[in-house]
Amino acid sequence: MEALLLLLLGLSGASLGFHGDSVSFTAPQRQTDGSIQVTFHRRQNGRSSCETQPYTCEDAACTSFTESSILQTDLDGTGEQRWCQTESRVEASISTGNTSLYLRDSGCCWTSNVEGKTTWTSSAVLDLGSRSDSTALNSCPVTATVSSLRVPQNCFSEFPLLAHDPDGDVVKCRFASDATPPANFALDETGCMLTADGLVAVGDHVFELFLEDFPRKTITLTYGDGTSVQRDAAAPPLCRVKLQFSIQIVASIPICELGHGRPVYLSPTPSNGDVLVAPVGQNFQLTARAQAHHASIQDFQVSGPHSMSKVFTDQPEGHAQLTLSWTPQPRDLYRSVPVCFTAETKETQSDMRCVVVMVTQSPLTQGMVTVTCSPNKMVVALEKASMPGIDENFLQLLDSSCSLTANATHIVVVTSFTACGTKLQEQGDFLVFKNQIKSFVLPGEVIVRRKELKIDVSCQFPKSVSISSYFNIHKSDYVFTESNFGSFGYTFEIFTDGTFTSNVAPGAYPVEVKLLDMVNMGIQAESDLPNVSLFVESCKATPDDNPNNAIFYDLIKNGCQRDETFKIYPSNQMSYNFEVQVFKFSGNLDQVYVTCSVILCETGSSFSRCSQGCLTDPSRRKRSVTKETVGHSITQGPLRFVRQAVSNAVVEGSAPLVKQIDQPAAVNPPPVQPYIKVSGGGLGFKETLSISTAVLASTFLVLLVLAFMVFGYFIRKRKDEDRRSLLVSGWEK
């Protein structure tokens, strides 16, 4: 039998500034008498006023119903009354024979919006069966938003929603069937990501979504009346909660880049979707930092529990800091609390970021941990001695399919940045790869006597090119990170020969070369992503390691070969081997550096740069953002030119090359006169001088005759013009 719990608000008593709401459940508990205790928190968003009437219980199945006072959680501190939010707590007891809980609420009126929507309806459905995989009652997905969301029209592309399930179920999002979604907005149901499907209109838009959870494998649900049923991913959801919110699309701004006018988050701001731990009775703190170079951050907007305090700190150079503090009470035990925040400027705001605060009985064991970061993976070592009571057999990463290994002293984890649940998060000028090692409970375990463990591990890399200083690697190794490609690296080497198997040792740099020798070089790309290929778009030589030096020589440009001695050797799709004949720059410049611009592309994409090859007109080409990385510059060198010894028989200088001929010694040698001798005979110096004088005299006479001829021509032309002028003058008279 389904229990019906109606939470009704009169239409006349509702606020006219409704901006949405959310409901989050604490894990339901079965009491000794068989009844079920259900606790949930409701947050309601508004603008200038957040007053609401208290809930009422309208069903006889609700044997008890207690609601706390409606308390304010956040209010716009700038005096502009742009947002406010309230939270209330409800405790209800459901009788033994019920299999599900249904909540519903409705009211008027939505904030004025483009869609013309007025009335709203909140609802939630929770299955009350005990799960076979955890022996506990099912928990609902956790979600929330801040009260006021603002995005410039030209900057809206995607908007992630918090969708966390405490049971680890799959959460899917969908538009409510009884509400028409705003035009040109789309929803990625599996990723719970709101996206733009065209140009979105300026103004307020209202959204009504359902979040539903489904088990990852078939489970059995057992109810208080003794009945049971099997559920899988194809069955109806275990829980359905409705999320309502509004987004104000404001006028376009000149630059959408985060950190310019829109604030960008900086470290140590937690990542979106992080699960944090707050022990009962202990002060929990969350710190977020943001920066906007060309705008002033006025405040942070927060959606959190009503007893959470907020401290805003204005800092120099466009920085601002948010500090949230909260001490969970015993009644908050096992609660998963959504906390969302945005950094606010007068014109716009940062992206919304949400985390989940999990309330536990006692602090989780942390332990001594060492994280080693490499271009494509992290290696984590946990010291066993620092974690007494921790069973290594009950530890896992965010993705439970990834295994951990152990030796006598440490538990070791090796994970790629693209596997094992590792998450990528942008933090200002850095990209952070995060994972988590945590303890777990086996299905069917009723009690446990193991300590819990939760350790966050991460690697941080600059967004721009960097010869990594995080680990001991050869100078030729470069590491880059991009949102669509994760972390990837390049190795640029000089090889000893054309087999490209033995590279020059780092201690042998600078590499000494001779003119006209062939030098062998190779680039190797490293990425854990499958089906990617390397493309070398350009290579140029410079006399120092500054690729922007005004003195340079192109070897490859826009994918086109420019040097006739440049030869590419066949290799795999992640390697690029070539040779080029040694040269030097004119003047007193004896060193050469080679800088190449390299790109990784998805293999087989006809729109990527890799597939386009040599471009004669690169200005008309548009980058395929999702199919390729940006061009990254990598440099190798120097190649140092070695001057060869000059023999006594050859003198190089500004004077003509003089070849000296050995002759037998004479007792009275004739006077030596300068001469040039050519093999097979030639003219002496005097003969050459006399011939040259004759040629010069003849040339002078010819030029003199030509000069007289030109002079005579211009004299005759001037007389003709004067004659015509006189004729015209006479005619006019």
Reported as a single tens digit per residue, the pLDDT across 363-414 is: 655 567 788 776 667 788 888 877 776 777 778 888 776 767 777 888 887 7
Tell which wins on pLDDT, 53 or 236: 236
CA atoms lying within 13 Å on the CB side of residue 146: 27
pLDDT at 226: 86
Instruction: Note the pLDDT of residue 642.
Output: 77
Average pLDDT over residues 424-443: 73
Q: Which CATH architecture has domain 253-362?
A: Sandwich (2.60)
Q: Is 113 helix (H, G, I), strand (E, B) or coil?
A: coil
CATH fourth-level superfamily of 1-248: Cadherins (2.60.40.60)
pLDDT at residue 730 is higher than 60 = no
> Which pLDDT belongs to residue 674?
34
User: In the structure, what pLDDT confidence band is assigned to residue 601 with cuts at 50, 70 and 90?
Assistant: confident
The pLDDT-based confidence of 578 (bands split at 50, 70, 90) is very high
- pLDDT, residue 93, reads 87
Residue 46 has a pLDDT of 86
pLDDT band at 648 (very low <50, low <70, confident <90, very high): very low
pLDDT bucket at 621, cuts 50 / 70 / 90: low
Task: Identify the CATH class of 477-641.
Answer: mainly beta
Nearest one of 478, 471, 452, 463 to 424, comparing CA atoms: 463
> Which helix (DSSP H) or strand (DSSP E) does residue 716 occupy?
helix 685-732
For the chain, percent of residues with pLDDT exceeding 70: 74
Q: Residue 473: its pLDDT value, please?
A: 32
Range in 24-28, 73-77, 89-93, 709-713 with the lowest mean pLDDT: 709-713
Average pLDDT, stretch 632-642?
84
pLDDT at residue 693 is higher than 90: no
Please give the average per-residue pLDDT across 155-166, as a whole number. 92
Is the Cβ–Cβ distance between 594 and 540 less than 8 Å? yes
Neighbours of 332 (CB within 10 A): 21
Please state the rounded mean pLDDT for residues 545-562: 88
Give the residue-averaged pLDDT of 539-564.
89
Distance CA 283, CA 88 (A): 22
Euclidean distance between CA atoms 207 and 596, whole angstroms: 48
Say what the pLDDT of residue 620 is: 59
**Average confidence score pLDDT of the chain:** 78
| pLDDT recorded at residue 381 | 83
| Residue 23, Ramachandran bin (φ over 0: left; ψ between -120 and 50: alpha; else beta) | beta
How long, in residues, is the chain?
A: 733
Confidence check: pLDDT of 145 > 80: yes
- Asked if residue 713 has pLDDT above 70, the reply is no
Q: What is the pLDDT of residue 410?
A: 83
Q: d(Cα 147, Cα 341) in Å, to the nearest integer?
A: 10
Please report, for residues 81, 289, 428, the alpha-carbon distance to residue 347 in angstroms, rounded to integers and kept in the order given.
14, 19, 20
Q: Are strands 299-303 and 336-344 parallel, antiparallel or unpaired?
A: antiparallel
Give the percent of the chain with pLDDT over 90: 31
Per-residue pLDDT at 440 exceeds 60: yes
**pLDDT at residue 52 is higher than 80:** no
**Residue position matching structure tokens 């006072």:** 69
Q: What is the helix, strand, coil percentage profile of the chain, to 5?
A: 10, 40, 50
Look at 11 and 190; give whichever has higher pLDDT: 190
pLDDT at 701: 57
Q: What is the pLDDT of residue 446?
A: 58
Query: At 705, is the pLDDT very low, low, confident or very high (cuts 50, 70, 90)?
Result: low
Q: Are strands 567-569 and 575-581 parallel, antiparallel or unpaired?
A: antiparallel
Indicate the pLDDT class of residue 445, thresholds 50, 70 and 90. Answer: low
Predicted TM-score (pTM) of the model is: 0.58
Mean per-residue pLDDT, 547-552? 84
Complete DSSP assignment for 607-661? TSHHHH-S-S-GGG----TTTBPPPEEEEEEEEEEPPPPPPTT---SSSPP----
**Could you say which architecture CATH assigns to the domain 369-462?**
Sandwich (2.60)
pLDDT of residue 535: 92
The confidence score (pLDDT) of residue 520 equals 95
Domain ranges within the chain, ordered by starting residue: 1-248, 253-362, 369-462, 477-641
Q: Which of 60-64, 395-399, 662-666 has the lowest mean pLDDT?
A: 662-666
| Fold: same for 253-362 and 369-462 | yes
133/661: higher pLDDT:
133
Which positions ≥6 away from 650 have C-beta within 8 Å?
657
Range scoring the smallest mean pLDDT among 163-177, 569-583, 660-674 = 660-674
Higher model confidence: residue 466 or residue 230?
230
* Alpha-carbon span 319 to 265, nearest angstrom: 10
Quick one: pLDDT band at residue 171, thresholds 50, 70, 90?
A: very high
Q: What is the pLDDT of residues 267-322, one digit of tens each?
A: 888 888 888 888 889 899 999 999 999 999 999 999 999 899 999 999 888 899 99
Of 169-173, 505-509, 658-662, 721-725, which one has max mean pLDDT?
Answer: 169-173
The contacts of residue 215 (CB under 8 Å, 6+ apart) are 131, 133, 169, 170, 231, 232, 233, 238
* 262 and 349 Cβ atoms separated by less than 8 Å: yes
**Distance in angstroms (rounded) separating the CA atoms of residues 721 and 713:** 13
The pLDDT assigned to 685 comes to 36
